[in-house]
Structure 1
Amino acid sequence: MGKYFTFILLLLFGSKFSLAQQNYIDHTIKKGESVYMISRRYGVSVNAIFNLNPGSENVIYAGRTLRIPKTDNTTTTPTNAVINDTIVRNYIVRRGETKFGLSRRFGVSINLLEEQNPHIVSMLQEGHTINLDISSEIAQPKATKGQHIVVKGETLWGISRQYGISLAQLEAANANRLSEFLQIGQSLVIPDKASEITVEGAYIVQRGDTKFQLAKRFNMTIAELEEKNPHIVTMLMAGHRLNIDATDSNQTEDIVDIDQATNNDLDSTSTIDSTNTVTKYKNYVIEPKETLFGLAKKAGMTIDELTTLNPKLLTSVNAGDIIKMPVGVSGTTINTIPKPEVETTDSTKTQDVVDSNTVESTIPTSSHRNNALFANLAIENSSGIYFYTPFSSEELISPKERQKMISINSDFQKYIDFFQGAQIAIDSAKALHLNFDVTLIKKNIAKSKIAIESPHNKNAILVPFSDSSSTFPQIQSNAPISIVDIESDIISNDSINIYRSITPETIQKTKTLNYLAKQNGNVVVISDLDEARNKDLILNILPEATFLQVDNAGFFKSDNLNEVLDKTKHNFIVFDSKKTIVLLNTTTALMGKLSDHKIQLVMLESSLLPKQTEVSNMRFRILQLIYPSMTDPQNQNDILKFENQYEELYGIKPTRHATLGFDVTFDTLLRISQNTSFEDTINTILSEQPHLKFDYQKTNDKTYLNTGMYLMQYNSNEGMIELKE
């Protein structure tokens, strides 16, 4: 009996050992590889590799073997597929996989993936078979005359500058080649500097073009333009190639009366002059420092008339842009778009944390927004500001150390961005002669308490992006201290106040609904076939609201819209869907009802606003869209000042995390530099930094929540206004 028992144990042990052998695969480390790179290739976590390979968290060596734990991806690979360091054969694409994900898994570029699998160039689909020779490399193509090969870090703007052509010319010449992003190795056509944006028998749609303008430009009706170009019926987009009868874009044009045009062009405005006069226009090049007001005055028009003629002026007035002006207006007029005289920055510049002595301050110019804070700065007092971070000061200062940490966990990049924005805030505060010390507290989950010995009477700890409230330690301090939470949702275990600095989306939605409740209007909620995303919240504040669903294409059933609209009341249409096509068709239907109903569009979340390239802002102006915003769209001076300063220092545009770093740090520094306590400033002073408004409200004994936001409304003519909640 004992022999049988021993035999069974040996069988069990052997089967377990065999299973254990099958739960990982061997990977031979190549020169230049890191554990992070290997983990991304196989779709496993870095910690899973560390656990299976003790010592790999410290160093790995080329030529040695790492054990890689198998994941669902490896266990579900078809049995006839072969995947190793040099070959991928008969790999079947699964649902949800992307070219980017496959390129990272197999350790190749998307270019190589597409070159060896041309059937996926247009679209990767479930069931496609992938075959790769990983060891082969795409030979770097050599550009011929009139051609440019895209390399890492290049942008369309930079390429246009390199060849001395306009961005519009470059985009027009490559309308059929461009997608959302440039690809490394992509071939671009470089047009001649004097080339027109039009080609024989065709026209490339530019940003700001509308169907009404193009129809008039090429002497046809909108219906004729759509008949010749059915791809623009649903939406006209920059880059579309149009079939036209004539290309007289260089000639003086006649704009005739609106009675001869159709009203179906939803990208045109409803304020076009309908007199029977014929006015001649010519191309005009905007000169440096010209303003919308000055251009309107020069044209002898109102701003509304000028922007109706040139819708792109609703977005911005840019030196070098071409607009239409009445014949007789003096100024530079040319037939091709000129090269703007703008300096560019190197996008590959090292993202170092810069010494504060070398940086020009970025103090918000709209100081009236913060008069109460600026007027009572106590520069004779000193204070302390602490950052709770995964980096030590040495790691944060060293680009090599920062990159090492990012290679282990890419999520650390948002901390880098945050601290680069915070650095500019620190420099700006120094320029105001504020007296403070900066200290970094490195996260250590083994510690349950942190003792702070501060020589200052007022102190603040900034806690950005802490991943778990349970790991935040108890703070013991010999001096008054406040904790500023930046998307961390930490819980204080002691008597220290916590100030949550980022307004949650729930507050934005609630404030918008409360505004609608005060208007005593008819509220209709539009959603797609899915249940309205915010139904419970809406009914809690607006119990009389009506809910109306559209199909997946965004169309209403017959007479459904008429049934919910009220001719005797102001109709607030709350759009509650993430689908752009639903927004397009919904707004089209609503604009068709404006003659009989008073209608206003509402969105409860700024994240629902699509890109302007997807949906024209003119729709929102016509329907006077109301929406909540974390940022004041009217405060462009301060926003651009910060963005320019950041790009000058770091060679890239600031991310959202960088803007949080500046706004929260600068606001905190101003508040701890007052004669009163930090809590007193929170209770009495509302402040506005370039991107965020800080309006703190107490939620319990030791917690304050920032409820600051902007409730904005598009004007029918120009700009926006802020609504009072």
Structure 2
Amino acid sequence: MKNRIIFSLLFILMVTFNTSAKQDKYVKHTVAQGETITMIAQKYKVTPYDIYKLNPDSQKGIELNSVLLIPPTVAESSFSAEPKQTSPKAPGNPTTHLVQPKETLFSLSRQYGVTVEAIKSANAELLKDGLKTGQTIKVPTSSGIVPTTIVAAPAKAVVKETPKAVVKSEPKTEMAKGNTTYHIIEPKETKYGISKKYGMTIQELERLNPAIVNDFPVGLKLVVSGNPEAKPVVESNKVKEEAPKSPAVSTKKYLEEYVVRPKETISSIASDYGMTEQELIALNPELKKGVKLGMILRVPKGQRKEPIKKEQGNLLKNMNTNARKQLALLLPFNISKIESDTVNSTQARLKKDKFLNMTLDFYSGALMAIDSARVLGMNVDIKILDSQETKNTSNVTTLATDHKLNAMDAVIGPFYQANVEKLAEILEPTKTPVISPLSKESGKKFSNLYQSMPSLDQMRASIFEFMRGKGGNVVAVVDPKKGSVKQYLQENQAGTRIIGLTAKNTFSADSLKVCLKKDKMNYVVLASESTGMILATTNAMLAFQKDYQVQLVIMEPNETLDFEEISLTRLTKLKLLYPSLTRPNESIEANQFDAKYKKLNKIIPNAYAIRGFDVTFDTLLRLSQEKTFEETIQNDDSEQIENKFNYNPNSTYGYSNNGIYILYYDIDLSIKEAS
């Protein structure tokens, strides 16, 4: 079977399924001397926000001769440089909207406060082939007033000189008719800072401005309630603006205590409360020395953003097959190497090239996912490209240019971490999602990078979170050779008691016994590859079962446990508990998958083939929704044949999959999921 795949790849370097390329027409503008974003926006009749959207780095400033991408002029866009006075319309009278890149019916429904079905109904003929960039659609409104998002360039401070005083006007606040107050977002501002300035909660700010729920662009004009806290204070010869009071000196009724959890950082905690790191440190000066597990912090009361409860299985129920999407797979076939190999035959190469075998297995699973997507009617064009990669080299830069990967709705691959990060960096300006399919490493973070494989640290953290969630007593037996594990426990799992070893660095049953508690489950975390230490520890645990509840735990795979000296019965009696990327699945669907794969490929699917199916099918499902890819990541989990996809935002940028199973050996010699 693999010979057949390789021979087909020799003739077809790129496999394309229903391919139709997108064409986004942008103008390139070279920055001239003295130009600002506002001036450039006025020149092209767009808004500063439109420019920031395509050129994220421009928020930090623009340099002479740098090149900016400018979107096409939008005559009737939902964004305007000045507030529009919308005259009342009869109920149901629609407005128009020019569709921008990456917009969906779901995002437009949220922007205009109407249902997806209402937009579809008003554009039945136009949307036959799905929503496309550049279309002008009608947006109905039941209230008669079309809600618009108003964007303006940050206003400049105006300085008026008086004989005895200098008065600086408030640059970010303006009053409109009807006592509505507007605030323009400036660089480095946060939801927390703005909400406090106007005596609001973050929830109130988001309710008034739905556009900032998932985004917070500089230059956006917000509707705020009340007046800013700043008041002029007269000092001798000048009048100066009093800064809003720091949260650190607010009265206690506005603060509450928060206990730092495992793996949390200053950045992640600040993000959860809608603050900057500086604002959190102002409340808690002790954070200047770093954050520690169990530390009690002062945080704004009621401001924590509760994690969104993700729904399982909604992706399959809510598919949208109207809009056509594009997906590219970058897989390391390295066909040029196969063609130039005059020494080894294809069969000989397959016997010794493990990386090629892994690639072909992943590819075979991906093809089954594509076939399943077609059966379900998903409307996705797919390109399969040869990434020609090694650990240190790849052709992703060329592929990105030649195949216009920035026009794709998502890209899976390459395999190696350095290469997938390079591609994410190239495609970050267009926010094209890049899914890393196999790498467990973590390196540079990009806002459009999705790590589908949980890292070792995530695996370790998940098992401790499970044990603590059960209220267990956690102790650890750590081999002297496992210094890094000991350091990890001391730095990240401070509540874990590490038992002492003898003078000869061997296990002592008495040292374990004194750490056990009779009223709790005692989780014994074993970190050793020594057969002798494993046998000694498990012998003691089996003896202690008469008086204590004990369960054996490992944090990561341990091949020593597979040796004949350590019987399976021993491990089942102690109900070995461990984190896993995959689960055993005996469902009807899983058995049908195995049978179909075997029929096509004459073999049972291995872990890489199943991984290829699971990653590809999860991505195809997410592309086949009304929501954007990122919105599905934030709202929906997915569970496929063996793998679970539960993406969470990193503390800086991008997303990591925390889809980890906690499994155990049961006494019937089966592996089950712990609950």
TM-score range, shorter chain: 0.3 to 0.5
What TM-score does the superposition give when structure 2 sets the normalisation length?
0.46
**Larger RCO, structures 1/2 (Cα 8 Å, 6+ apart):** 2
What TM-score does the superposition give when structure 1 sets the normalisation length?
0.43
